[in-house]
Structure formats: C-alpha cells, structure tokens
Structure 1
Amino acid sequence: MPKARTNVKAADNRLSRKDSGIGTKKAKKKAAPKDPNKPKRPPSAFFVFMSDFREEYKKENPNNKSVALVGKAGGAKWKSMSDAEKAPYQAKAEKNKLAYDEDIRAYNKGLNEGGDSDKSKSEVNDDDDDEEEDE
C-alpha cells in the first residue's frame, strides 16, 4: 500500500497565516478628501506645446483615432526641436507658473486665516456671548 500523506506537514506550513503574512498588515487610513477649490498645478512647457500640437495633428490627420500615435508624434517632435523653438512654450509655462504661485499663496492664506481655531464660528460666538453676560 502506498503512503498517501508523506508531505502533509510541509504543505500545512506553507498555508499557515503566520508564514504567508496574510492578515498581518494594518488597515490603511483613507486619504483626506481633496479640496475642489485648490488651484490646479500649471502645465509644463511640454504640455503647453502638446495642446497646440494636438490641434495641428488633428487637422493634418483627420482619420487618426489613436491617442497614442498623437503622443508619440508630439514627443518625437519635442525632442527634435531646438531650444529656440521651445522658448515660446517655456515662456508661457513660466507665466502660468507665476500665476499659479500667486493663486496658491492666496489659497493658503485663506486657509490659515479661516482655520486657525479648532472651534467652529458658532462656538467662538458663544464664548463672546458668555463674556458679555459676565460683565
């Protein structure tokens, strides 16, 4: 009669929870929701170029439905361009970045002014009412 259970212990060791790491990780906390009022980052010079390039490419190739082909063609053209040809796109990207910097400073300033206290506005007003009653 053949032995049926020669490697039972080896198989059991591979399936044990301690060895495999199953269920040993802590649950991750959910990320805080993104603020829809926060300014979006400006596009880089390449993406400014790509917005113009896409329009030209669509005019030249109206039957093209592939986004990948447009991206590859744009990337190849960007690499082949000289610094002088890239300069207008880089200037526009820099202008957009400066505007973004101003917007984000104003946004952060608004957060700091409005969020200094853990108390809600009603609680702050309640404290003011209590002080007036004491006088």
Structure 2
Amino acid sequence: MKGGKSKADSTKTDARLKGKSTGAGKRGGKKEKDPNKPKRPPSAFFVFMEEFRKQFKEAHPENRSVSVVGKAAGEKWKSMTAAEKAPFVAKSEKRKAEYNKKMQTYNRKLAGGANEAEDDESDKSKSEVHDEEEEEGSGEDDEE
C-alpha cells in the first residue's frame, strides 16, 4: 500500500494529539514552582493597564470583552508621549526595586535554609574538637 498509514503511525499521531509523551520526547518534565517566590513586577504598560481598565469600565459598562479593553489600551499607550508615560514608568521602577529587595531576601533564605543546618553542625563540631584538643593538651601536660 503506497501512501497508506500503518497502525503504528496512527498511534503515534494520536498520542501527540492527546498530549501524551511517546517516551522519547521530554525527559524530566517541568519543575514545580515555589509558592513563596515573589512575583515579577509589572512593566510600565501593565501599570498603565491597571488604571486604564477602571476608566474604560466606567466609560463602557456594557462591554464585557477583555480583548476590546486590551486593544483600546494598546492604541492609547502607543499614542502617548514619553512625558505622559513617565508616571507609569516611575511606578514600574519603584515596584521593580521592591521586587529586587524581596528576591534578595528570598535568595538568602534559600541559601541560608539549606546551609544553616550544615553550618550549625560544622561550627559545633569545630568548637567541640577545639575544646577536646585543649583538654587533651592540658591533660598530657599534667601526666608528664
């Protein structure tokens, strides 16, 4: 049969359509997201969108379409001058600075959480070993 599909070919196609892996594709899968990780800050456009949605909803209460709001906001953003965009850019920068601070503390907690227990044990063992050496040293002097 020229040009005909075999049964094996159709099962591979069906597996891909259903989203199942045939075994050779993905290796490990997705990493799980940490729920404690801070969310990324919005860009200046999204800061603008927060305010624009409220204004658009007041002006057009009958509109329920998200795409219409997005298109209208995009058109307005493109037509705005840099001076008009400046307050939204400033808010975005402020949020970005806060995000960077939160990420630093988050990263410190991650690094500290994994290493704190090891550091505590290793510090104790070092001091205990040091104390034992001093005691042994003083004991040897007494015996001689």
- Which amino acid in structure 2 is aligned with residue 87 of structure 1? A
2:14 paired with 1:15 = no
Once the two structures are TM-superposed, the CA of residue 28 in structure 1 deviates from its matched residue by: 3.1
Alignment CA distance shift 1:69-1:24 (3 Å): same
Pick the structure with more helix per residue: 2
Alignment CA distance shift 1:111-1:24 (3 Å): closer
Equivalent residue runs for 1:43-62 within 5 Å: 43-62=42-61
Structure 1 runs, 4 residues or longer, greater than 3 Å off: none
| Percent identity (aligned) | 47
Once the two structures are TM-superposed, the CA of residue 25 in structure 1 deviates from its matched residue by: 1.5
Alignment CA distance shift 1:15-1:73 (3 Å): same
Equivalent residue runs for 1:78-117 within 5 Å: 78-116=77-115
Q: Which residue of 2 aligns with 1:4?
A: none
Distance of 1:74 and 1:27 partners within structure 2: 39
- For each residue in 1:18-61, what CA deviation from the matched residue of structure 2 results, as whole angstroms up to 9, or x when unmatched? x89x4461453232211111000000000000000000000001
Q: CA RMSD in A?
A: 3.1
Distance of 1:98 and 1:111 partners within structure 2: 20
Gaps of 5+ in 1: 1-6
- Which amino acid in structure 1 is aligned with residue 6 of structure 2? L
Q: Provide the TM-score with structure 2 as the length reference.
A: 0.67
Distance of 1:32 and 1:112 partners within structure 2: 18
Q: Size of the alignment, in residue pairs? A: 116
SS at match of 2:97: helix
Once the two structures are TM-superposed, the CA of residue 112 in structure 1 deviates from its matched residue by: 0.2
Once the two structures are TM-superposed, the CA of residue 72 in structure 1 deviates from its matched residue by: 0.3
Q: Provide the TM-score with structure 1 as the length reference.
A: 0.71
Q: Which residue of 2 aligns with 1:3?
A: none
Q: Which residue of 1 aligns with 2:74?
A: 75
Distance of 1:26 and 1:71 partners within structure 2: 36
Q: Which residue of 2 aligns with 1:38?
A: 37
